[in-house]
């Protein structure tokens, strides 16, 4: 009986060591997972900017997995569902609207750059050439549509009532009887030959080979108070903002290397805000 007791104790010790070993393996696995950063982006300029930050994170031992999206909906859904750690494509008014309308709980962990929104056309070269009844394409999501209408209002093309998420229904004066074609933001540049002019988000303007600083008929004043809320941000799920890898991501994305790249690469079409 005594020998059996000793043997039982020995076996129990082996099992216990095995469990500790398994626990150690699990801890190591978790540690390795914490060194993977999954981020969703739209192609230009977001992917290009992340590609500059990526080597800085790799030097810190991170593996950076970048997923490209061509719409403004999936990146937020993917972060909310835990498929991504972060995304980089949007401004705060859009994030706020998405949180409210889709029941998400995402937060900003840092502002990176501003992409001035502008009016572009293949048919006219100035506002004076806009004919009575002309059609202007605008993004159809609430925050960017409001931003587009406020741009026109700031230049005296229309007048709108006060409010954050204004729509064409909130236009109080429209002397040129302008019509508005409301399209998904990514589709607005593709519609430019079908309308008289189009108000295009900066990233999609760059993709469409426009240079916002030289090709836009009118463009947001980058230094205006109205433009400040539209700085593009890194967004994460609420509760994850204090994770070390998120802090390291923000540090890399606001590095001197990234700032220098933005200033040299985009010539004022994309403006760092850090």
* Domain spans of the chain, in order of start: 34-115+230-272, 118-219
Structure tokens at 58: 């790799």
Please report the pLDDT score of residue 14 as a whole number. Answer: 38
34-115+230-272 and 118-219 agree in CATH topology: yes
If one compares 250 and 44, the residue with the highest pLDDT of the two is 250
Fold designation for 34-115+230-272: D-Maltodextrin-Binding Protein; domain 2 (3.40.190)
Q: Does residue 18 surpass a pLDDT of 50?
A: no
187-234 pLDDT, tens digit per residue, is 999 999 999 999 999 889 988 999 888 999 999 987 777 788 899 999
Q: Does residue 112 surpass a pLDDT of 80?
A: yes
Q: Does residue 273 surpass a pLDDT of 70?
A: yes
Phi, psi values for residue 243, rounded to 5° = -65, 145
If one compares 71 and 179, the residue with the highest pLDDT of the two is 179
Section 38-58 average pLDDT? 97
53-80 pLDDT, tens digit per residue, is 999 999 999 999 999 998 889 999 999 9
pTM: 0.75
pLDDT-derived band at 17, boundaries 50, 70, 90: very low
pLDDT-derived band at 24, boundaries 50, 70, 90: very low
Mean of per-residue pLDDT scores for the chain? 89
If one compares 203 and 122, the residue with the highest pLDDT of the two is 122
Q: Does residue 29 surpass a pLDDT of 50?
A: no
Please report the pLDDT score of residue 228 as a whole number. Answer: 82
Q: Does residue 158 surpass a pLDDT of 60?
A: yes
134 vs 270: CA distance, rounded Å: 29
Tell me the DSSP string of the chain. Answer: -HHHHHHHHHHHHHHHHHHHHHHHHHHHHHHHHTTEEEEEE-IIIIIHHHHHHHHHHHHTT-EEEEEE-SSSSHHHHHHHTTS-SEEEEEEHHHHHHHHHHHT--EEEEEEEEE---EEE-SS-SSGGGPPTT-EEEEE-SHHHHHHHHHHHHHTTS-EE-S-SS--GGGEEE-TT--EEEEE-GGGTGGGTTTSSEEEE-HHHHHHTT--HHHH-SEE--TTSTTTGGGEEEEEEETT-TT-HHHHHHHHHHTSHHHHHHHHHHHTTSSEE--
For the domain covering 118-219, report its CATH number: 3.40.190.10
Torsion sign (Cα): 213, 219, 224, 228: negative
Please report the pLDDT score of residue 4 as a whole number. Answer: 43
274 vs 121: CA distance, rounded Å: 32
Task: Please state, for a pLDDT cut of 70, what percent of the chain lies above it.
Answer: 88
pLDDT-derived band at 169, boundaries 50, 70, 90: very high
């Amino acid at each position: 009986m005594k020998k059996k007791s000793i043997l039982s104790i020995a076996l129990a010790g082996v099992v216990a060591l095995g469990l500790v070993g398994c626990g150690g393996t699990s801890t190591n696995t978790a540690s390795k997972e914490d060194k993977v950063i999954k981020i969703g982006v739209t192609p230009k300029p977001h992917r290009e900017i992340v590609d500059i930050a990526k080597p800085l994170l790799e030097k810190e031992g991170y593996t950076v997995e970048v997923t490209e999206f061509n719409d403004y909906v999936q990146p937020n859904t993917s972060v909310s569902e835990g498929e991504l750690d972060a995304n980089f494509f949007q401004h705060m008014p859009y994030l706020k609207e998405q949180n409210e309308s889709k029941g998400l709980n995402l937060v900003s962990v840092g502002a990176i750059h501003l992409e001035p929104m502008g009016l572009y056309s293949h048919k006219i070269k100035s506002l004076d050439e806009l004919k009575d009844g002309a059609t202007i394409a605008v993004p159809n999501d609430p925050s960017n549509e409001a931003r587009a209408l406020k741009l026109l209002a700031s230049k005296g093309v229309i007048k709108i009532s006060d409010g954050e998420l204004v729509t064409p229904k909130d236009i109080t004066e429209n002397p040129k009887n302008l019509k508005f074609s409301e399209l998904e933001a990514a589709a607005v540049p593709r519609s430019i030959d079908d309308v008289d002019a189009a108000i295009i988000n900066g990233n999609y303007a760059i993709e469409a080979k426009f240079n916002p600083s030289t090709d836009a008929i009118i463009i947001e004043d980058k230094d205006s108070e109205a433009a400040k809320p539209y700085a593009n941000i890194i967004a994460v799920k609420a509760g994850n903002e204090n994770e070390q890898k998120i802090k390291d991501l923000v540090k890399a994305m606001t590095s001197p290397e990234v700032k220098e790249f933005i200033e040299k690469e985009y010539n004022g079409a994309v403006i760092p805000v850090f």
